[in-house]
Amino acid sequence: MYRRLSSVLFPIVSILLIGSLIWGYQQYQQRNAVAIKSENQYQRLFHDLSYNMDRIHSELGNTLAVSSASDGMHKKGLMNVWMLASQAQSELNQLPLTSLPVNKTEELLSRISKFAYQTSLRDLREKPLTAQEKENLRTLYKNSAEINKDLDQVQLSVLSDNLKWGDAEAVINAQGNKQQQNVIVDGLRAVDQKVGNYPPMDWGPSVSSLYEHRTVRKLGGVPVTPEDIKRKAQKFTNIDSPAIQVIQNGKGTDYRSYTASLTAPDGHVIRMDFTVDGGLLISYNDEREVGPKQVNRDTAMSKADRFLEHKGYRDMKAVAYNEYDNLGNFTYVREHDDVLVYPEKITVRVGLDNGEVIGIQASDFLNEHKDDRKFAEPKIKLKDARAQLNPDFKVSFTRKALIKNEYNEEVLCYQFGGKINDTMYRIYINTETGVEEAVEEIPAPTAGSKM
């Protein structure tokens, strides 16, 4: 009986054993393939990060090398720095460094990107680089050289010693064992410590304001997941792409965000930043190649108007425009109760080959927007404010505007637009005190438009 039973069970057990061995081997192969794929991805990201940091250093040097009168080269260099710094920040965030504090390096890249972007938006012919901005470029050029030297040393060790990011990740995630050493971990930690020891820089109000502490009231909302961000990215772009990559930035800080990246049907990359709380759009960048200029300012503005309206940014009015080669940059502010609210600002970049929007920076709008704004009745009459203007100033338009003064306080003003000495200006007179709060020259591309 036992012999008969064993003759039946033995083949079954043998088949099960062989099957389990085959299954186990297949699982091992699959895990090994995933590990190899992840390792290759991390190696590529780190080498791309090192390469882009070298390019940032080169572009900073090129920008500093040209004449102070070369506004076109300055703008081109700053635009390149902006794109490279954004890419480097994205690559740093995708490395397996969740438990390794590299937030100082990440913040520096973010500030470089914002500084270059905000400065490149300006008409550098009308408002060239200031002494402080040039000093910032020199400091960044020097600091980037030091950072690159350390990153190159880590990269050399990775290549020569065949170091693995999987090993580095294991060291980073090891609990209670701070004695373990790893060249990659130690090298990146040293870079972040060096960045943290750099003296603070004066980035200017337009950049510094992006990093001010924001209250929960302004950035409130239910925390969203990467899957939520994928759906938001698909809806915003109208592209049903299954391969959307989402990474979280600034973990453990007050400035958490998601970056979503997707590939458009024609192959170019689109990137968007969203807040973690509420999933609100911070920025949008379509990296398609822009062809030769084919459309004028008014056509581009009409398309930008419709784009903002369609995306939910209502009551926005263009107040400034500048142009570089085949790119147009509009500044929009919200109009509320017949007042232009300048703190609630959105910058829109348009490709002048077809007039389509290829970039948005909405951080100011996001941080400053208030639905319930109330404006006090002016204590100074319009005619009395106008009487304070230079008699030679030829006023062409008048409206109310809310701006921030030199103390970063919101003040309601009368805005007078007009010409003196063949140059267009906007002059802001405080509606409560009658004090002249600000004077700004209207760039030539803006003058003569509906703005």
Compute φ and ψ for 63, nearest 5 degrees: -65, -40
Of residues 234 and 107, more confidently modeled: 234
340, 319 contact by CB (below 8 A): yes
Q: How confident is the model at residue 162 (pLDDT cuts 50, 70, 90)?
A: confident
CA distance 266 to 17: 50
Tens-digit pLDDT profile for residues 47-59: 888 888 999 999 9
What's the pLDDT score for residue 72? 77
Phi, psi (rounded to 5 degrees) for 361: -125, 105
User: Does residue 13 register a pLDDT over 70?
Assistant: no
167-215 pLDDT, tens per residue?
Answer: 776 766 554 445 567 888 888 888 888 888 888 888 776 666 655 544 4
- Least confident window among 106-110, 145-149, 234-238, 441-445: 441-445
Does the structure show a pLDDT above 60 at 254? no
CATH architecture, domain 382-441 = Roll (3.10)
pTM score, whole prediction? 0.59
pLDDT of 76 higher than 70: yes
CATH classification (class only), 219-367: alpha beta
Domain ranges of the chain: 27-205, 219-367, 382-441
